[in-house]
Homo-oligomer: A and B are copies of this chain.
């Protein structure tokens, strides 16, 4: 069901401060925190003594203290203090420790074999060339499988329906979009182009476009849980000339972390190009519009989840816009099969 040998976003950076954070990832209860030196740690949120959540404890002199009977654990999950045991430790007393790392605004966690964790494989976001863009991040919670949110991002024809009042182009223009899809070593990438299209309502509102635009969407799925988005709009005719600036452009990292089989955390970081002509709105308006659209997506997939529960999904029918989704699903299946077989060989 879940790919374990992967980095997932566990939390936004600022969620982890002095207070311990209890978070479930891939059905596993985890406690995240920082020690007195600010060093991050992530441990199984269940004491090996009587099962109490370590997130009900606190960071003591040397490690994380269980708030029930006082066992103390270091960053590796090894119990370094057993109260009443005359200073001796107990070999079997340990909890699972998860590799964890902060990158930009997010804290990442490795859910698989720790020996295979390589922090160099964590996506770098934002790229350096975005320094002059404004940057936002945030998160939403969805009562739906993370797969439904990935699928949402892999079929942009939904913009004309779910987001028809903000970021969606007309259904007519959407139906004539051209999509190119290609497999990458880590997932699937597609480029969707709408040339000479009416601007979306929010594009009109934000940037004052009134004439036709060229609209591009460059999305890369990185298995199992990331989507890197680069999209925007320029004056009609400019796209083919290589123009990408002067209009509206956005780069977004979507990081979708399964909580349970049917719930997920949706983290996002976005960089928007500055609109020189409307500096006052630069800070708040753009992110507000995107987040409103993300909330529409979450509302839709939660409804979808409720309808698919206990339903035989093989009865569903594909249409042309499913092309990328089908590639993604196949890639994810392959990775799951690989991981599963590597455990037994």
Question: Closest approach, in angstroms, between the C-beta of A68 and any C-beta of chain B?
Answer: 6
Q: How far is the CA of A300 from the CA of B55 in the complex (A)?
A: 11
Contact with B along A24-58 (1 / 0, CB 8 A): 00000100000000000000011011111100110
Q: Is the CB of B317 within 8 A of A161?
A: no
Q: How far is the CA of A160 from the CA of B311 in the complex (A)?
A: 45
A321 within 8 A of B: yes
Q: Is the CB of A321 within 8 A of B52?
A: no
Q: Is the CB of B51 within 8 A of A319?
A: no
Interface of A is mostly: loop
Determine the chain B residues whose CB is within 8 A of the CB of A317 once the complex forms: 48-49, 90, 92-93
Tell me how many residues of A have a C-beta within 8 Å of chain B. 52
Question: Closest approach, in angstroms, between the C-beta of A145 and any C-beta of chain B?
Answer: 11
A162 within 8 A of B: yes
Contact with B along A225-263 (1 / 0, CB 8 A): 000000000000000000000000000000000000000
* A/B interface sample: 5 pairs, CB < 8 A: A48-B315, A53-B303, A65-B161, A84-B175, A93-B319
Determine the chain B residues whose CB is within 8 A of the CB of A306 once the complex forms: 53
From A29, A48, A160, A321, residue with most partner B Cβ within 10 Å:
A321
A308 within 8 A of B: yes
Chain B's closest residue to A323 (CB) is B84
Determine the chain B residues whose CB is within 8 A of the CB of A92 once the complex forms: 317
A316 within 8 A of B: yes
Determine the chain B residues whose CB is within 8 A of the CB of A320 once the complex forms: 82, 84-85
Contacts A161-B65, A162-B68 given; does A316 touch B84 at CB 8 Å: no
Listed from nearest, the 6 A-B pairs whose CB atoms lie closest are A46-B307, A51-B308, A52-B304, A84-B320, A84-B175, A93-B317
